[in-house]
Chains A and B, each alone.
Chain A
Amino acid sequence: MSKRSTATKRPLTYQEVWGRIGIYAFLGVLALFFLLPLYVMLVTSFKSMDEIRLGLIFSLPQQFSIDAWIKAWTSACTGLECTGLQVGFGNSVKILVPSVIFSILLGAINGYALSFWKVKGANVLFACLLLGSFVPYQVFIYPLVRFYAQTGIYGSLPAIVITHIIFGMPVMTLLFRNYYSGLPVELFKAARIDGAGFWKIFISIILPMSVPIAIVAVIMQVTAIWNDFLLGLVFAGRENLPMTVQLNNIVNTTTGERAYNVNMAATVLTSLVPLTVYLVSGRWFVRGIASGAVKG
C-alpha cells in the first residue's frame, strides 16, 4: 500500500517533519470537530433522564447506565408493542440486500453502456434521469402508490425493492458513468477489435476496474437504503417494515414525552450497519486496484 514511502527511504528533512506534524494537526482537529456530536450522543445515552434534564450536555454521566441501550434494542415502545428496535432488523436486511445489489448492478450497466457504447437518445434519457433526481421523493409517492396498486404489488417486498432501484438509479448511473469516462478507452477498443461483445467486455474488463467506485456505490446505497424510513413505511407493507420505522417511532413524537437517552442509543444502534460497512470497505480503499487491473 505504501509504494511511495518505500521509494523515499531516507531521513526526513526538517521541512518534511513539520509537514507531517501539520498533516496530523489538521486531521486531528477536524476529527475532534466530527466526533463532537457523537460524544454528546454517547454520554447522553448513558445518562438517566433526570440527569439529562439538568442540561449539561458535555458532562460525563454521574451514574453510568446502559439501561437506555437495552431499552432501545429490546423494550422501547413503538406503539402498542414495546419490543424495541430489534423487530425490524431482519426486515431491514431483507430490503437492503436485494436493493443494494440490483441498484448498483443496474447503475454499473447503465454507466458502462452510456460511456462506451453509442445508443441514440441515451444521453437525453440520462439528462432526464439526473433532472428527476432533484425532485423530492415525496412527490413521487402518490403516483407510485397508484401504479403498485394497479399491478397488485403494493405493500410488498418487490414494491420496496423496485422503489429503491428507481430512486437509486440517477446517482448510481452518474457515479459509474463518470468513473468510466475517466478510464482509458483504448482497452475497450482493443477488446472490440478482438471481437468481444457487450457483456464479455463488461464482465472481464470493466467490472474488475470498477472496484473503487463500487465501494463508494456500496457506501452510498447501504446508507441511503438502510436509513430510509419514508419509502419503507409507504411501500414495504406491514409485514416488512424496516427498522427505521421503529427508530422513528422511538425518537419522534409531538406531544409525548421524549426519552433522549433511549433516542440517542437507538440512533447509534441503527447506524451500526452502515458504520460496519464503512469500516470493512476500507480494505478496498487501496492504491492501485484500478491501475493494477489495467495493467493486468
Chain B
Amino acid sequence: MGAELTRHVKRNLVAYIALLPMAVVVIFAYLGTMAWSVRLSFSSSKLLPKNDFVGLTQYFTLFDTPRWLTSLGNLVIIAFFFLLICFALGCLLAIFIDQNVRGESLFRTVFLYPYAMSFVVAGLVWQWVLNPDLGIQHTMHGLGFTGFVLDWVVNPKMVLYAVIVATVWHGSGLVMALILAGLRGVDTEIWRATRIDGIPTWRVYLSIVLPMLRPMIITSLVLLSISIVKMYDVVVAMTNGGPGTASEVPAKFIMDNLFERANIGLATAASTVMLVTVLLVMAPVIYSQYFRKSGRAS
C-alpha cells in the first residue's frame, strides 16, 4: 500500500508540484477566508471584526429580518428566469451566428459588448428605458399609443423582471461566446456526414452537437450560477433594491451590512447561509461531475 502510494506520487510528481499554487490559494485564501467568515458569524462584530462569541444570535436576527427573507425569495425567482433565458438565448445566438451569417464578427461583438459595460451607468440607462415617464412607455404615448404600459422598474410586482432583462442583456453574450467556442470545435466531418444522411439540422444539434458541448454547457451554467449568487451591481444601479424592498437580493444585503451598516456579524451570517445553500445545491452536481471519474489517465 505504502509502496504503491509512493510509486503513484512519483509517477505524477510534476503534476503534484504544478498544482501547488492552487493548493496554497485554496487552503489559505479560500478555505481560510470561509472559515474566518463563519467564525465571525458567531460574533457580535460591528464595524471591525471582533473575537467574542454570541452563539446563533446573528442567525436568529437574520431570519427575523423581513428584508433578508424577501431577498432570498427574489433570488429564487431571478435564478430561475435568468438561468433559463440567459442560457437559452446564449445558445440560440451561438447556433444562429454559426450558420455562416454575413457580418458574423459584427453580430458577435454586438451581443458581447454589454459584458464590457460597467453596470454603474448601464443600470441607470436601463432604469431610464424602463421608466414610464422617460423611456419606452413615454415614447409610445407620444406616438399616440396611450394604452401602452411598460412600468416594470417602478412596479413592485414587476421590478424583478426589469432586473432580469438587464442581466440577460449583460450576460447572454458570454454564454454565446462559450457555446460558439464549443461549436467551432465540433468536427466538420460530422456536418458532412449528417448532411449526406439527410438528418434535419435541428436534430443534429439536439442529439449530436449538444452532447458534444456538454463541458461548455456545464461551464456556462456554473458561471451563470456564480453571477446569480453574487448579483449586486445591477440591482444597486437600477433599482437600489426598490421600490421598497421589492428587488433586494442576498449579495446586496451582505454588502450593505458589511459596509454601509457596519454590521459584520450579520453580514457574515448571511454569507454563511448563502455558502451552505450553494453547497447543498451544488454537492450532488459536483459529486457526479468531479468525483466519479477523476484523472482520466494514470
Which residues on A are within 8 Å of B, measured CB to CB? 2-5, 7-8, 23-24, 26-27, 30-31, 33-38, 40-41, 44, 55, 57-58, 106, 109-110, 112-120, 122-123, 125-136, 138-140, 142-144, 147, 165-166, 169, 171, 173-175, 178-179, 181-182, 185, 188-189, 192, 197-199, 212-213, 215-216, 219-220, 223, 226-227, 229, 244, 247-248, 251-252, 263-264, 266-267, 270-271, 274-275, 278-279, 282, 285-291
B185 interfacial by beta-carbon distance below 8 Å = yes
Q: Which of B54-62, B75-83, B150-158, B225-233 contacts A (4 or more CB under 8 A)?
A: B225-233
Shortest beta-carbon distance from A107 to chain B in Å? 9
Given A31-B111, A131-B278, A134-B226: A188 in contact with B297 (beta carbons within 8 A):
yes
Contact A143 B36 (CB under 8 A): yes
Besides the contacts A33-B169, A264-B125, what 10 more A-B pairs have beta carbons closer than 8 Å?
A7-B195, A37-B169, A117-B15, A120-B8, A123-B291, A129-B25, A136-B232, A182-B185, A212-B182, A278-B112
Name the distance in Å between B4's Cβ and chain A's nearest Cβ.
Answer: 12
Question: Can you list 23 residue pairs at the A/B interface with Cβ under 8 Å?
Answer: A3-B188, A34-B114, A34-B173, A41-B122, A114-B295, A118-B297, A127-B286, A128-B30, A130-B282, A131-B34, A131-B282, A135-B30, A136-B232, A140-B33, A144-B33, A173-B22, A178-B216, A198-B15, A199-B14, A219-B177, A270-B118, A278-B112, A291-B185
Task: Decide yes or no: A212 and B108 within 8 Å by CB, A128-B26, A138-B255, A198-B14 being known contacts.
Answer: no
Nearest chain-B residue to A179 (Cβ)?
Answer: B215
- For A202, the closest partner residue in chain B by CB is B18
Contact of A248 among B34, B120, B139, B212 (CB under 8 A): B120
B201 to chain A minimum Cβ distance, whole angstroms, is 9
Are A285 and B25 in contact, CB atoms less than 8 angstroms apart?
Answer: no
User: Given A116-B295, A179-B215, A287-B188, do A41 and B116 touch, yes or no (CB 8 Å)?
Assistant: no
Q: Please indicate the chain A residues that have their CB under 8 angstroms from the CB of B251 in the complex.
A: 136
Q: Complex: how many Å from CA A263 to CA B118?
A: 11
B18, A113: Cβ atoms closer than 8 Å: yes
Residues on B with beta carbons closer than 8 Å to the beta carbon of A125? 19, 22-23, 26-27
Going nearest first, the 9 A-B pairs with the smallest beta carbon separation are: A132-B30, A118-B295, A198-B14, A274-B116, A117-B15, A178-B215, A282-B105, A267-B121, A212-B181
B residues less than 8 Å from A229 (CB atoms):
118
Kindly state the interface size class of chain B when it binds its partner.
35 or more
- Distance between B282 CB and nearest chain A CB, rounded to angstroms: 7
**Contact yes or no, A128 B31, CB < 8 A:** yes
Q: Counting CB contacts under 8 A, is B84 at the interface?
A: no
CB distance B219 to A179 under 8 Å? Answer: yes
Q: In the assembly, what is the distance between CA of A291 and CA of B191, in Å?
A: 14
B205 contacts chain A at the CB level, 8 A cutoff: no
Alpha-carbon separation in the docked complex, A289 to B185 (Å) = 7
- Asked if B180 CB lies within 8 Å of chain A CBs, one says yes
Q: How far is the CA of A227 from the CA of B275 in the complex (A)?
A: 25
- Decide if B229 touches A119 in the complex (CB within 8 Å): no
B189-227 CB contact bits vs A (8 Å, 1 = yes)? 001100100000000000000001011101100110110
B86 interfacial by beta-carbon distance below 8 Å = no
Main secondary structure of the interface of B (DSSP, over half): helix
Contact check, B184 vs A287: say whether CB atoms are below 8 A apart.
yes
Q: Which residues of A contact B31 (CB under 8 A)?
A: 128, 132
Q: Who on chain A is nearest to B181 by CB?
A: A212
A264 to B120, CA, bound (A): 10
Chain B residues in contact with chain A, CB under 8 A?
Answer: 8, 12, 14-16, 18-19, 21-23, 25-34, 36-37, 49, 89, 92-93, 96-97, 99-101, 104-105, 107-118, 120-122, 124-126, 128-129, 133-135, 138-139, 169, 173-174, 177-178, 180-182, 184-188, 191-192, 195, 212, 214-216, 218-219, 222-223, 225-226, 229-230, 232, 251, 254-255, 258-259, 267-268, 271, 274-275, 278-279, 282, 286, 290-291, 294-298
Contact, CB under 8 Å: A134 / B192:
no
CB–CB B101/A24 < 8 A: yes
The answer to whether B192 and A40 have CB atoms under 8 Å apart is no
Known contacts A122-B19, A216-B178: A131-B109 contact under CB 8 Å? no
Chain B residues with Cβ below 8 Å from A192 are: 297
A4, A40, A130, A220 pick with most chain B CB within 10 angstroms: A130
The residues of B that contact A120 with a CB separation of less than 8 Å are 8
A213-B181, A287-B184 given as contacts; is B96 within 8 A of A27 (CB)? yes
Is A185's CB under 8 angstroms from B18's CB? no
